[in-house]
Amino acid sequence: MSIEILNEHRLLWNKKPSLRAIYSDYYRRIVKQCIPGRSLEIGGGTGNLKDYLGEVISTDIVPNPWLDAAADAQSLPFENESFANIVGVDVLHHLERPHRFLAEAERVLQPGGRIILVEPAITPMSWPFYNFAHPEPVNMRADPLAEGPLDPNRHPFDANQAIPTLLFKKQHAHMEKTFPKLRLINMEHISFFVYPFSGGFRSWCLVPSFLIAPVLQFENIIAPLVGKWMAFRLFVVVEKRGRN
């Protein structure tokens, strides 16, 4: 079932110019925040980041021929300090134990390395959409840093869309205390109108392709003013502290 979902997403990526335009904006933001060196992509899914970022190892918990490796972000099969960046789009909120991912990221990142993520943002405007019109649940009572065993029967696409908001907006100080080598250096509220009306990885789209670019430009202008009330996405950069 997981492979079928990713194959369907890959077909939609090739058929929907609006989808490519929106995610290309996300990828460009990610590339700008990457430091020089080898990058690790978690939750690589359809494998499109490779078109934007050069030295990247693309992984996903679901194996696919267009990815470099199958790997669980909560138990990475890589050596200590082996990457300059860890990047992911719509991955964190699918992880059963984000605590384990942060521990692994802290381990495999070089000093000064970065975790760069694009995730759902739960805001007054986005909450009704995510809660009532999106198939993934929103549980604002969850503990994003809860520890415990992993459920071997859990589906890889199970999720809680509230996790990124809880972790980086509500509990970022607790995160930094739990992982003293990690610090949140940037958090932006992005994506307002285009994303929900595009249909994302669904076959429908309510926005003409030619309007995507100008609307994205307008959204970037108003983001600092209204983002925390209206945004549908969080753009997050976490940095691993240096040795000194």
Model pLDDT, residue 153? 93
pLDDT at residue number 1 = 46
Give me the pLDDT at residue 4, please: 80
Dist. CA 117–CA 208, nearest whole Å: 27
Residue-level pLDDT at 244 = 62
| Sheet containing 69-70: order of strands | 69-70, 56-60, 39-41, 83-89, 109-120, 233-240, 182-190
CB of 56 closer than 8 Å to CB of 84: no
The Cα 235–Cα 121 span in angstroms is 9
Query: Which amino acid is present at 97?
Result: R
Own/partner pairs for 143-148, CB < 8 Å, 24+ apart? Answer: 144/98, 144/99, 144/171, 144/175, 145/98, 145/99, 145/102, 145/171, 145/174, 145/175, 145/178, 146/97, 146/99, 147/97, 147/99, 148/97
Beta carbons of 43 and 89 less than 8 angstroms apart:
yes
pLDDT digits (tens, 9 = 90+) for 14-57: 889 999 999 999 999 999 999 999 999 999 988 899 999 989 99
**Would you call 164 helix, strand, or coil by DSSP?**
helix
Q: How far apart are CA 204 and CA 195, in angstroms?
A: 12
Give backbone dihedrals phi and psi of 61, rounded to 5 degrees, phi first.
-65, -25
Tell me, what's the pLDDT at 186? 97
Asked if 99 and 70 touch (Cβ cutoff 8 Å), the reply is no
Contact criterion met (CB below 8 Å) for 107 and 40: no
Collapsed DSSP state (helix, strand, coil) of residue 61: coil
Domains and CATH numbers, the chain: 2-240 (3.40.50.150)
Q: How far apart are CA 178 and CA 101, in angstroms?
A: 13
Query: How far apart, in whole angstroms, are the C-alpha atoms of residue 110 and residue 103?
Result: 13
| pTM greater than 0.85 | yes
Q: For the chain, which ranges sit under pLDDT 50?
A: 1
User: CA 72 to CA 165: how far, in whole Å?
Assistant: 22
Q: Residue 227's CB: how many other CB atoms inside 10 A?
A: 22
Q: Are 168 and 234 in contact (CB under 8 A)?
A: yes
